[in-house]
Structure 1
């Protein structure tokens, strides 16, 4: 029986503790978790251009320099075109076109810009395939490794030859997105704190703006009252035969300030109308 009061106090404390977690703010702030973008998507890899469609009437890459095919019948040429070839042939032609944009000569296959162009062609071809087969884990791993390898070489090129780095990004239509130095998880609690601070700053700015407008509207009346007060002080000092501390220049300065303020308000009203 002696333990009942203690259990009641413990129960009340637990109720208060649990209610503190159930507290909800009255601020109209809604946080939505940002959508997770897969690593192979162009938004993450930095590819501004996707896999472009190649003309199906073009000849397969392996037979483009064939003399026999050049003099062959149109039906034979059609059989050796991309229309009846597997998707791999179109990918190879696209990769060859990407490499030809940056090659120094026809036999250039080992320079860093040619390698990056080749990887870019393969990446964009695999990205198109991933859109159709998103569950292909093997293709996803290969694509991720290629993107990381390209980023690594772009990082080296950026360090040692920045002009060539910029030219290569412009030619291949790429954006360099280096990995972050410090990875930071996006949490609901921290995001709500930032949104609350932003909301409070917005309220503060709105109220300061409203208070500033109120003061600006009251400024002409304040200047008129100041002119009357200065003139009254000057007249009283003259009537009492004491040293006059208010000069005519001070009163004229306030009058000029009032006229400039009225002109400014009139111009602003005309612009609004």
Structure 2
């Protein structure tokens, strides 16, 4: 172990053990160098990164999982068949009669990442050219950015520490939104057609920006959870009422059938019963209305 590596290790150990709370002193063991000098070394250094966010008080808060839902992509990157020929070799007619080894070399399975990305962009370009014609420059740019965004999303979710790719991804998402905004102003039908073909959801920017503090966010989350519980109870009650409604309607039909039989037996007119019921309902409504008016007059006095 060279002296430079020892200095770097000592700096890392000092940085890891500086914090708001005092840390326990670990065991020490001496490293004897070739020159005869000794260097104190911690036997169990804590160099593992944790997915937590430290605060001033010393407590840790778990980070939320990384998500790029704000991009508007409804689908992920599509998979390719490894046996398919690359787009740049499709015009080669001699490849049809070539041996299998030559076809395998020209296939997607033997291509590099740059070649696969170029193949995806060319496939997207040909598809949009068939749909919108040769003069669809803005649609071509949106399609190219869509291919790059979906590739970068898969990369950033796999490699969380690659911050440079994440910043490039955010820039490309904003750039695509700008081109989509321009296309939306020019031709709305074409804009909707492109969104349907690329499986993208356009999320316009808010008209007004208001800063939301952490306390307000917690309040909003609690309210949403309470409304969700309330809605679940309402849905359960609706299902219960629907089940009871079927039994009630069946019982109602049986009672009406019995009333009809008795009316036919005693030769009674059912219309008279209906009119009497209507009169009783109107009388009860008038009684309730008069009662409410009397209580209102008493409160006013």
Shorter-normalised TM range: 0.5 to 0.7
The number of residue pairs the alignment matches comes to 180
- 8 Å Cα contact 1:60/1:82 also seen in 2: yes
Q: How does 1:214-253 map to 2 (within 5 A)?
A: 253=279
The one of 51, 69, 75 equivalent to 2:101 is: 75
* TM-fit CA distance, 1:44: 0.9
Q: For residues 184-199 of structure 1, what are the structure 2 equivalents within 5 Å? A: 184-191=210-217
Q: Which aligned pairs between 1:1-273 and structure 2 lie closer than 5 A?
A: 35=64, 38=67, 41=68, 43-104=69-130, 108=134, 111-191=137-217, 253-254=279-280
Distance 1:190 1:34, change over 3 A: farther
| TM-fit CA distance, 1:176 | 0.3
The alignment partner of 2:129 has SS state of: coil
1:131-171 per-residue CA deviation (whole Å, 9 max, x = no partner) reads 22222222222211111111001111111210001000001
* CA displacement 1:199-250 (0-9 Å, x = unmatched): 69x7xxx9xxxxxxxxxxxxxxxxxxxxxxxxxxxxxxxxxxxxxxxxxx99
Question: d(CA) in 2 for partners of 1:139 and 1:197?
Answer: 34
Counterparts in 2 of 1:159 and 1:36: CA distance versus 1, 3 Å: farther
Q: Which has the higher contact order (CA 8 A, sep 6+)?
A: 1
Cα-to-partner distance string for 1:179-202 (whole Å, 9 max, x where unaligned): 2233333334335666579969x7
Give the deviation of 1:45 after TM superposition. 0.3
Unpaired runs of 5+ residues, structure 1, are: 1-32, 207-248, 259-273
Distance in 1 between residues matched to 2:276 and 2:132, nearest whole Å: 84
The separation in 1 between residues aligned to 2:184 and 2:132, in whole angstroms, is: 25
Residue 61 of structure 1 deviates from its aligned partner by 2.3
The Cα offsets for residues 106-149 of structure 1, whole Å up to 9 and x where unpaired, read as: 99376111111111111111112222222222222221111111
CA distance 1:179–1:34, change in 2 (3 Å):
farther
Contact 1:54 1:94 in 2 (8 A): no
Distance 2:98 2:224 in 1: 74
Structure 1 residue 62 displacement after superposition? 2.1
Q: Distance in 2 between matches of 1:104 and 1:93?
A: 17
Given the superposition, is the C-alpha separation of residues 199 and 104 from structure 1 closer, same or farther in structure 2, using an over 3 Å criterion?
closer
Unmatched tracts of structure 2, length 5 or more: 1-61, 235-274, 285-301
Instruction: Decide whether aligned partners of structure 1 residues 55 and 109 sit closer, same or farther in structure 2, where only a CA change above 3 A counts.
Output: farther
Report runs of 4+ in structure 1 exceeding 6 Å deviation. 196-200, 249-252, 255-258
Distance 2:94 2:119 in 1: 20
Give SS of 2:142's match: helix
Distance 1:105 1:250 in 2: 70
Q: Does the 8 Å contact 1:98/1:172 carry over to 2?
A: no
Question: Normalization by structure 1: what TM-score?
Answer: 0.55
RMSD: 3.9
